[in-house]
A = this chain, B = another copy of it.
Amino acid sequence: MKLLSPEELEAALRDIGARRYHRLHPFHTLLHGGKCTRGQVQAWALNRYYYQAMIPIKDATLIARCEDSAVRREWRSRLVDHDGEREGDGGIARWLKLTDGLGLDRDYVTSLQGLLPGTRFAVEAYVRFVRDKTLLEAIASSLTEMFSPVIISERMAGMLANYDFVTRETLSYFDKRPPQAKRDADFALNFVKCNARTPEQQQAVLAALEFKCTVLWAMLDALYHAYVAPKQVPPGAFLPEDY
């Protein structure tokens, strides 16, 4: 292990994104290419809801570990983005507009009863990582946001072009995210470039991003297995009408 310059560290992080980010997952190829059934899109939105709902818990977990008031203040904006300034505002509420628009019952979605176990375990592993690893690794695990503006623009274009049951209004979550994700990713990237000062810390940062890519990837594996092929829905999980 050698010490990387900050620029080399950033390049290594971007290389992980190019190879491991869930943009490359076959489920996304189907989703963005208009090849999903309505039921598969529903299953995706329903499962992804749990990830969205747990993001503020993950971010508060990170803030609770952080002794620097300035870092806490910066990270707090993520709570604002997801929980909003008032009822009906924020990322979670906008995600529920998507599940509404896809014809899912809101109480069923938020009850988490239809969730795939694979989604639950992956999301919980992410929250646990942020709670238990070093603050540097916790911050580094957020760096998938570096790659999210591209996937979001592909998703918006692909879904609007291909699905008549999807509207710009139901996709309003994605309209808001790119500038937030860019601001957050810029902060986190700068933080790890400044604070990963030994080869061991840099390797831990890279491993944290790989871990997070694994979390996102595993969520899509679970969806693919249950709803695309071999189409084996675990007992109790969501069954689309068109299944």
B-contacting residues of A (Cβ < 8 Å)? 53, 56-57, 60-61, 63-67, 69-70, 72-73, 76, 79-80, 82-87, 90, 92-93
Residues in chain B near residue A67, CB distance under 8 A: 53, 57
How near does chain B come to A200, taking the closest CB pair, in angstroms?
26
B56 adjacent to A79 (CB under 8 Å): no
* Number of identical protomers: 2
Complex-state Cα separation, A86 to B76, whole angstroms: 12
Complex-state Cα separation, A144 to B80, whole angstroms: 27
Chain B residue with Cβ nearest A127: B64
Q: Given known contacts A69-B90, A70-B87, A79-B79, what 9 new A-B pairs fall within 8 Å (CB)?
A: A56-B63, A56-B69, A60-B64, A61-B64, A69-B82, A69-B83, A69-B93, A72-B79, A76-B80
Residues in chain B near residue A53, CB distance under 8 A: 67, 69
Complex-state Cα separation, A56 to B79, whole angstroms: 14
Residues in chain B near residue A93, CB distance under 8 A: 69
Residue pairs across A and B with Cβ atoms less than 8 A apart, 15 shown, are A56-B63, A56-B69, A57-B66, A60-B60, A60-B63, A60-B72, A69-B83, A69-B93, A70-B87, A72-B83, A73-B83, A73-B90, A76-B76, A76-B79, A76-B83
A72 adjacent to B56 (CB under 8 Å): yes
How near does chain B come to A96, taking the closest CB pair, in angstroms?
10
